[in-house]
A and B are shown apart, each in its own frame.
Chain A
Amino acid sequence: MIFENPNPREIAQAMQQNAAPDTLFVVMVAENTPLDVAQLMTALNETTCQYIGGIFPKLIFDDKLLNLGVIVTQLKGLQKIHTVRGLADVSYALEKHPEVLGSDYCVFALVDGLASGISGFLSELYRSYGSEIRYFGGGAGSLSLQQAPCIFSREGFLEDAAVYCLLNQTTHLGVKHGWEKLGGPFIATKTNANIVEEINWKPAFEVYRELVEADSGASFDSQAFFDIAKGYPFGMVREGSECIVRDPIAVNEQGHLICVGEVAENTFLNVLKGKIDPLIIAAGQAAAEAADQAGKPTAAIIIDCISRVLFLGDDFEREAKAVSIALRNKEIDPTIRGALSLGEISSFGEGFLEFFNKTTVVGLFE
């Protein structure tokens, strides 16, 4: 369901018509949409629908980018919706699922993308549900990068929180980013959650600037930090797999680099560089990877990082098309829809659960 001029009652009615006890509605709202989320929640709470939702910078429907509107996706096999408040508080523990779950289960999670403690939350999720099930989701929030309530469920309209639910639904995932190594290796010798203070025992910005200015030919003195940095993220190195990207979005007065997502102290980093074509190809590969395993999915969701759009500019349409074409080539029926996010979540039994940046994740739900 897509609502280009959304009205809370209209959305609630449409959802109610399709409601079933084990149906989860994922409600994605573009942040500039003239819609009162409180009113939307009031309308939804009057229905029997089980829902989770988030505010995202932009939405995707098929190969189109939407600045305004609401997209609702139905998923089957809902077991239970959970809410975690206070992600920054490291002391909480999630209830462990009592049985061993296999690949026919998926946890769908939306988190406040600007919260600190997302990695800790994902670790707890992994501890609770194990290594065999699928994990899918992303970070909600505003492109202004100001933290504010951005995820919602019957529990409320929340910030610094996560909502997640267990689905008894076979899910096929694809995840790729396409960023390539420019320089490194480096060690993030001093960090504080999502702030990289020192690299190789020197102020982080000094090391980063030297490498990036030399490659780009641009100067951080004459251009806004993110205008240049959006093309040069960090990569946390993993063996035998694409690295985990961390997006430096700002530099503070002390010369520390502020990232989306945590960077642990003494992390082994490379500085990456984006090229338009490899990024677009990677997004298509993520879709193809999911489609290769899928049978007859009933829903197709994409969570794509907003900073890819900021880097690709008008070329992002080509990325959206590459995803759409990859799915059509495999005769995947449902139209892909999703959100441009502040961080992405995906795991399909290949290893530990991580929070990604600048990455495309595609989920096909049977």
Chain B
Amino acid sequence: MSGGTLQTIFSLYELSMAIGKSLNYRDNCDHFMKVFLSRKMLKAGWIVQLHNNRLRLRYAIPGPYRPKEEVDMDFIHGLLNENKPVCVSVNKRVKDICPVPVSGGFIIVFPITNDSILSVHSPRNEPWSSVELRQLDPIIRKFGVSLKASADYEEQKLLTKRLERNNNDLNDYAHIVSHDLKSPLRNIHSLVQWIEEDLDSDEPKKAATHMPYIYSSLEKMDSLISGILRYSNLRELQESLVKTDLNKLIDEVKSMLLVPLGVQIVIHEMPQVRADRLRMSQVFQNLMDNALTALKRSGDCLEVGYKDLGSHYEFYVKDNGPGIAKAHQEKVFQVFQKLDADSTKSGIGLAIVSRIVEDHGGQIRLESREGEGAAFYFTHPK
């Protein structure tokens, strides 16, 4: 066997053994693509998938720049219909479908499943031979099978998580009914008894002093019931998320907020994301409203911004208010956990935020030190 043939076999072996190293979709891609890029001297690679007649960019290294809505669908359909690897020189039309800047060389497109393609950018001046493409084709398709397994696993994990959350919600409801709702009801019962006693003793003025407490307890019950309804009516995300300009969305949210006098709101330039617009609006409204209730001094500040972390954005809503005590931090995202005694609040806002963020495939966390403000961070996949 010649040295060249042996080298080819070893190269293909190395590449095929880099497949399926993780059940996490992104990690699975990372493992394989790093070896592919490194050993073949490639500059970039990305995977796109047709999903509900839309094109989804599932992975890109380096991180993508071009918004996926600009991709030429006909061209992608053409490549998918070929159903075999294709090597095309970089020209304007090709550049337009690349989510990363490319110049010179060739783009090699591999079908990986019936609805997905993997593309790589080779800066080499010569096209890849048909032999090379044929050798790589089965390996890339095997990679596609493992990606499908990763995607299925992640979907199953998400469903399990939702099921767990629903179970927890049921427990919470039981707790609310048995404790949170019963407590004001007991108060009302006692207060009514006292009123009866006062009226029997012919002391109507004394009896009337109990009335505000009854109203307060009723308000609390009303708030709890409204909260339960709001949380349980939180519908599932719409199947097709829409392109959402967060600058516009946050402007609208801001116009609905009651901003205490002297409190400053700083909104940084925000990106466009794919999201359920109404739900995303609830996220920012709850987080900003939550922060504003903590800001009372002139010069206090609420800041909203984001970081681009490649595969996802990390948004933040920060304030320089009194902060949240460590003991409360773990509970803030649970249903009906209030941080203050304000009976008009349901304690449901952050639970709703957490649920919406998770439904979009993100995660939320809180960073806070007492006296130094609070910052809520949540991720949102691109």
Within the complex, the shortest CB–CB distance from B264 to chain A, in Å, comes to 24
B309, A96: Cβ atoms closer than 8 Å: yes
Which of B41-49, B212-220, B225-233, B286-294 lies at the interface? B41-49
Binds B, one of A154-162, A223-231, A262-270: A262-270
Tell me whether A352 and B6 are in contact in the complex, defined as CB-CB below 8 angstroms, given that A96-B63, A126-B61, A266-B17 are known contacts.
Answer: no
- Check B11–A100 contact: CB distance below 8 A: no
> Within 8 Å CB of B17, what residues of A?
265-266
User: Closest CB of chain B to A79's CB: distance in Å?
Assistant: 16
Residues of chain A lying within 8 A (CB to CB) of residue B171: none
Question: Is A127 in contact with B61, judged by CB distance below 8 angstroms?
Answer: yes
Binds B, one of A22-30, A106-114, A238-246, A286-294: A238-246
- A130/B101 in contact, CB under 8 A: yes
A129→B11 contact, CB < 8 A: no
A187 to B42, CA, bound (A): 22
Given A95-B308, A132-B101, are A268 and B11 neighbors across the interface (CB < 8 Å)?
yes
Where chain A touches its partner, the secondary structure class is loop
**In residues 153-200 of chain B, which contact A (Cβ within 8 Å)?**
none
Q: Could you tell me if B62 and A126 are in contact, using CB atoms closer than 8 angstroms?
A: yes
What residues of chain A lie closer than 8 Å to B310, measured between beta carbons?
93-94, 96, 124, 127-128
Q: Does the CB pair A266–B41 fall under 8 Å? A: no
B18 & A351 in contact (Cβ 8 Å cutoff):
no
Cβ–Cβ < 8 Å partners of B11 in chain A? 237, 239, 268
B322 / chain A contacts, CB cutoff of 8 Å: none
Interface centre among B13, B34, B100, B311 (most CB of A within 10 A): B34
Nearest residue (CB) in B for A240 is: B41
A352 touches B14 (CB 8 A): no
Taking residues whose C-beta sits less than 8 angstroms from the other chain, chain B's interface range is 20 to 34
On chain B, the residues within 8 Å of A350 by CB distance are 41, 43, 123
Let me know if A324 is at the binding interface, CB within 8 A: no
Within 8 A of B (CB), among A230-265: 236-241, 244, 264-265
In the bound complex, CA of A129 to CA of B100 (Å): 11
**How many angstroms from the CA of A266 to the CA of B310 in the assembled complex?**
28
Residues of A within 8 A of B42 (CB): 351-352
Contacts of A100 in B (CB 8 A): 65, 101
On whether the beta carbons of A128 and B123 are closer than 8 Å, the reply is: no
A187 is contacted by which of B13, B121, B309 (Cβ under 8 Å)?
B13
**Given known A94-B309, A98-B308, A266-B13, contact A351–B41 (CB-CB < 8 A):** yes
Q: Tell me if A169 is interfacial: C-beta within 8 Å of chain B.
A: no
Q: Are A95 and B307 in contact (CB under 8 A)?
A: yes
Which residues of A from 111 to 151 have beta carbons under 8 Å from B? 119, 123-124, 126-132
Residue-wise, chain B 38-81 has the 8 Å CB interface mask toward A (1 for contact) of: 11111110000000000000000111010000000000000000
Closest residue on chain B to residue A351 by CB atoms: B41
How many A-B residue pairs have C-beta atoms within 8 angstroms? Tell me.
Answer: 97
Q: Is the CB of A185 within 8 A of B62?
A: no
Q: A354 within 8 Å of B by Cβ?
A: yes
| List of A residues within 8 angstroms of B37 by Cβ | 351-352
Please provide the chain A residues from 324 to 358 with a CB less than 8 Å away from any CB of chain B in the complex. 349-352, 354
Closest B residue to A189 by beta carbon equals B17
A55 to chain B, nearest CB (A): 29
Query: For residue B124, which residues in chain A have a CB less than 8 angstroms away from its CB?
Result: 240
CA distance A175 to B330 in the complex (A): 51
A264 touching B18 in the complex, CB below 8 Å, given contacts A96-B309, A129-B62, A239-B11 = yes
Chain B residue at minimal CB-CB distance from A243: B39
Least Cβ–Cβ distance between B58 and chain A, in angstroms: 15
A244 vs B30: C-alpha distance in the bound complex, in angstroms?
19
Residues of chain A with a CB closer than 8 A to B39's CB: 236-239, 268
Q: In the bound complex, do residue A351 and residue B13 qualify as a contact, i.e. CB atoms below 8 Å apart? A: no
Q: Which residue from chain A places its CB closest to the CB of B21 in the assembled complex?
A: A265
* A268 B65 Cβ-Cβ under 8 A: no
Nearest CB in chain B to that of A186: its residue: B10
Contacting residue for B63 out of A127, A241, A244, CB 8 A: A127
Secondary structure of the B side of the interface?
A: mixed
A130 touches B100 (CB 8 A): yes
Given A351-B38, A352-B38, are A127 and B10 also a contact pair (CB < 8 Å)? Answer: no
Residues of B within 8 A of A239 (CB): 11, 39-41
Cα A88 to Cα B11 in complex, Å, equals 28
Q: Separation in Å of the A127 CB from the closest CB of chain B?
A: 5
Chain B residues lying within 8 Å of A95, measured Cβ to Cβ, are 307-309
Chain B neighbourhood of A98, CB < 8 A:
308
- Measured CB to CB, the closest approach of chain A to B143, in angstroms, equals 14
Given A95-B308, A352-B34, A268-B14 contact (CB < 8 Å): yes
- How far does the alpha carbon of A90 sit from the alpha carbon of B88 in the complex, in Å? 35
Closest to B66 in A: A100
Contact A352 B308, beta carbon cutoff 8 Å:
no
| A127 near B41: Cβ-Cβ < 8 Å | no
How far is A240 from B30 in the complex, measured between Cα atoms in Å? Answer: 23
Q: Are B63 and A266 in contact (CB under 8 A)?
A: no
- How far is the CB of A247 from the nearest CB of chain B, in Å? 18
Interface residue ranges of B85-105 to A (CB < 8 Å): 100-101
Measured in the bound complex, the distance between the Cα atoms of B7 and A346 in whole Å is 26
Q: Which of B17-34 contact A (CB under 8 A)?
A: 17-18, 30, 34
Whether the pair B41, A96 counts as a contact (CB closer than 8 A) is: no
State the Cβ distance, A293 to closest chain B Cβ, in Å: 16
Complex contact A96–B308 (CB within 8 A) = yes
CB of B267 within 8 Å of the partner chain:
no
Q: Which residues of B sit under 8 angstroms from A264, Cβ to Cβ?
A: 18, 35
A44 to chain B, nearest CB (A): 28
- Residues of B close to A185: CB separation below 8 A: 6-7, 10
Q: Are the CB atoms of A241 and B35 closer together than 8 Å?
A: no
Interface residues of B (CB under 8 A from A): 6-7, 10-11, 13-14, 17-18, 30, 34-35, 37-44, 61-63, 65, 100-101, 121, 123-124, 307-311
24 sample A-B contacts, Cβ–Cβ < 8 Å, listed by A number:
A93-B310, A100-B65, A123-B34, A123-B61, A124-B310, A127-B61, A130-B65, A130-B101, A131-B121, A185-B6, A237-B7, A239-B11, A240-B41, A241-B41, A244-B38, A264-B18, A266-B17, A267-B14, A268-B13, A268-B14, A268-B39, A349-B43, A352-B41, A352-B43
6 nearest A-B residue pairs (beta carbon): A266-B17, A96-B308, A352-B37, A131-B43, A351-B41, A268-B14
Q: A266-B17, A351-B123 are in contact. List 5 more A-B contacts (CB 8 A).
A: A93-B311, A126-B61, A127-B61, A236-B38, A268-B39
